[in-house]
Amino acid sequence: MNTGSANVMDNPKLLIVDDDQGIRTQLKWGIEGFDIITANSRQKAIEQFEKHHPSVVTLDLGLPPDVEGTSEGFAILDAILQRGADTKVVVVSGSEENINSQKAKDNGAFDFYAKPVEIESLQKLVNCAYKAHLKGK
């Protein structure tokens, strides 16, 4: 568990981008082995990315002001990959449409994970993404 203690700062960084506070909290306390940073909008995500340079990002596609669509999520994906090509982005979205999964991967996402979140399986995927990040360095 991410305890927030000083020695946790040696962990790799994971940026969680989701407009749902409950999901951000669930992932923050459920995913282990990472320093967790969160954001709930495109502006905040880019600010946090530039400040912390995380190895891995989990990214919801439906964010304000386009909560029902995917434009904000894809804009964040593009912005992150332009700023850090070695960062691995796992799109975690309630949209189970195959088209969004394929589009996310085509646009450079490491993988797509359909909500609802099952922490253990997402943890494995985030760990895989981090290992791929290390190999790409």
- Averaged pLDDT, 33-62: 96
Given this model, what pLDDT does residue 6 score?
41
Mean pLDDT rounded to a whole number for the chain? 90
Q: What is the pLDDT of residues 87-135, one digit of tens each?
A: 999 999 876 567 888 899 999 999 999 888 999 999 999 999 999 999 9
Whether the ω angle into residue 65 lies within 30 degrees of 0, i.e. cis, is: yes
Q: What is the CB neighbour count within 10 angstroms for residue 19? A: 16
Domain boundaries, the chain: 6-136
Given this model, what pLDDT does residue 69 score?
85
Report whether pLDDT(1) > 50: no
Global pTM exceeds 0.85 = yes
For residue 75, give the amino acid letter. A
Helix, strand and coil in the chain, % to nearest 5: 50, 20, 35
Closest CA to 90 of 124, 129, 53, 120: 129
Is residue 46 within 8 A of residue 116, CB to CB? The reply is no
To the nearest whole percent, how much of the chain has pLDDT over 90?
77
The topology (CATH level 3) of 6-136 is Rossmann fold (3.40.50)
